[in-house]
Structure 1
Amino acid sequence: MTQHSVSIEPTPVWDVFVRLFHWSLAASILFAWWSGEQGGNWMQWHMYAGYTVLGLVLFRLLWGFAGSHYARFSEFVRSPVHTLRYGAQLAKQKEPHHIGHNPLGGWMVLALLLLSAAQAGTGLFANDEIFTEGPLVHLVSYDLSVEITRWHKLIFDGLLIAIGLHLIGVIVHQVFKGEKLVQAMLHGRKPVAEQTPHRPFVPFVRGVGLAGLSAAAIWSLLNLL
C-alpha cells in the first residue's frame, strides 16, 4: 500500500450523522431479522424496524448530496473502470490510501443502500397469508402481494451476502492492514496525511432537518396512501 506521513492527531472524517446512520441501520436490520424469525406478536416490531430502515436509507441518500465532504457520493463513488483499476492495485497490495471510502467500499455502500431499501420497501406490500400484512398491501392484488413476499425473502438473502462481503472487507483492513475502521466509525476520526486539506463538517442543524424530513416522508407514505 502507498504510505503517507500522517498527522499526530487524527482528523475528523465521519460526522455524527454518518456514524449514527451506520450503527442504526445495522441494529435495525439485525432486529428486523430477529423479530421476523420470532413471528407472532413480534411481527409488528418487525414492521417498525422496516420503517426505520426506510427512513435511514432516505436520510443517507439525502446526506449523500447535502452532507459533509466525506459523506457525499461525489467523493467516494467512482467509475467502474476506476474501481476495477483500484481492485487490481489492491490485489498487488499497491492500492492508494483513501481517507473516506475507497472505490470498492463506495460501491458497497450503494449496494447496501439499494438492497436495504428494496428489502424494507417490498415489506410494505408483503403478507404472510395468515394475519400479518404490510401497510400498503391494499394497493396491490393478493397474488402480487404473495409474489412480492417471495421477493422480500429473496432480497434478504442478497442483503446477507452483501453484509458478509462488507464485514470481510472491514476485517481485512482492520486486522491485516492495520486500519482502525471500526474505531473511526465510533469516534469519527482517522489519521490523515499532513498535507490533507481540512474538510469541516456541514452545520449540525442541516442533518437534524434532513432527518426530520426523512421521518416525515416515511410517515406520510405509511399514513396517506
Structure 2
Amino acid sequence: MKKTIRVWDLPIRLFHWFLVFCIVGSLISVNLGGNAIAWHAYFGYSILTLLIFRIVWGFVGSRHARFITFFPNRAAILAYLQGRSPRFLGHNPIGALSVFALLFVLSVQVLTGLFVDDEIAFQGPLAKYVPNVVVSFLSEIHEGNQVVIYTLITIHIAAIWFYRKYKGEDLIKPMLSGDKEIDPSEEAKYLPSDLGQPSKDGGLQRALALIILSAIAVVVGYFITK
C-alpha cells in the first residue's frame, strides 16, 4: 500500500493555478490590444499580488513552500545532475532553479508594468512619478522580458512532460491534490526527514494565508488607485 504524504498546502496550490490563469489572461489580453489592455493591467495587478504573497509564504508557509527547504546551491545541483542525490518530495534543485527564475522574471514584468505608458490606451500607476526617459527604459524592459517569460514557461512545460514520459513522475497531480504517493519500496530513496515531516495544511494555516493575501491585495489596490 502506498504512503500518502501532504507536500503542497492549499495556499500554494491555489497560488499556482491562479498564477497560471492570470499569466494566460495577461498574454491573451496584451496580444488582443485595444480595450483588452485594461484587462492586461488587471491581470498584471493580480500577478503582483500573488507574487508578493508567494514571497511572504516562502518564509512563513508550510515546510515545502518555504524557500529554505529548496534553495538551490551548486553542490546540490551537481549532485542531482550526476544522479547522486536522494529523491525530493518537493522541488528538486533543478525545479528550484526554475521556480526562482520564474518568480524573478515575473516580478520584473509586473514591476516594470507599473511604469509603462504607451500614450494611447494605458498608463501605469507609477509612470507619472518618474521622468519620461525612465518610463521609456522600463517600457522596453517590460516588452523585451516577454521573450524570457515565454522561454521559461516553455521549459517548465517541457520539464513536466519529460518527468511524466521518462521518469514516470506526475508533477501535476500533486499540485492538484497536494499529496504524493510513495511506494514502500521507494522510501529508502528519499530523505527520512522529508518522509517524516509532511507539510501542514490545516484550518489555521489556510486562515493565515487568507489574511496575508487579503492584506496584500488591499495594499496593492491602494497604491494602484492612489
Q: Structure 1 length normalisation: TM-score?
A: 0.89
1:188 CA displacement: 0.9
Identity score, percent: 32
1:210 counterpart = 2:209: no
Q: Which residue of 2 aligns with 1:31?
A: 25
Alignment of 1:72-221 (within 5 A): 72-89=66-83, 95-192=85-182, 193=187, 196-201=195-200, 203-221=205-223
> C-alpha offsets along residues 103-128 of structure 1, whole Å, 9 cap, x if unaligned?
11111111111111111111110122
Deviation at 1:10, TM superposition (A): 2.2
Residue by residue, what CA displacement relative to the aligned partner does 1:142-191 show, whole Å, maximum 9, x if unpaired?
23212211110111111111111111111111221111111111111102
For residues 131 and 110 of structure 1, the distance between their equivalents in structure 2, rounded to whole angstroms, comes to 32
Determine helix, strand or coil for the equivalent of 2:34. coil
Secondary structure of the corresponding residue to residue 89 of structure 2: coil
The equivalent residue for 1:4 is none
Structure 1 gap ranges (5+): 1-6
Partner Cα separation in structure 1 for residue 116 and residue 199 of structure 2:
43
Say which SS state the counterpart of residue 191 (structure 1) adopts.
Answer: strand
Question: Is the 1:35–1:46 contact (alpha carbons within 8 Å) kept by the matching residues of 2?
Answer: yes
Q: Is the 8 A contact 1:86 1:103 kept in 2?
A: yes
Note the C-alpha offset of 1:65.
Answer: 0.5
Q: Distance in 2 between matches of 1:162 and 1:14?
A: 22
Paired AA for residue 201 in structure 1: K
CA offsets per residue over residues 43-63 of structure 1, 9 Å max, x none? Answer: 111000000000000000011
Cα RMSD of the aligned pairs, angstroms, is 1.7
Mapped partners of 2:65, 2:206: distance in 1: 14
In structure 1, the partner of 2:59 is 65
Residues 174 and 182 in structure 1, CA contact (< 8 A), matched pair in contact too: no
Distance, in Å, in 1 between the alignment partners of 2:140 and 2:19 is: 23
Instruction: Give the distance between the partners of 2:107 and 2:16, measured in 1 at CA.
Output: 14
Q: Work out the CA distance in 1 between the residues paired with 2:196 and 2:3.
A: 14
C-alpha distance in 2 between matches for 1:183 and 1:136: 40
Query: What SS is found at the alignment partner of 1:11?
Result: strand
Aligned residues: 214
For residues 118 and 82 of structure 2, the distance between their equivalents in structure 1, rounded to whole angstroms, comes to: 45
Alignment partners' CA distance in 2, 1:81 and 1:152: 34
> Can you give the 5+ residue segments of structure 2 that lack an aligned partner in the other structure?
none
Contact 1:135–1:222 (CA under 8 A) maintained in structure 2:
yes
| Residue 46 of structure 1 pairs with residue 48 of structure 2 | no
**CA offset at residue 200 of structure 1?**
4.3
CA distance, structure 2, for counterparts of residue 98 and residue 84 of structure 1: 15
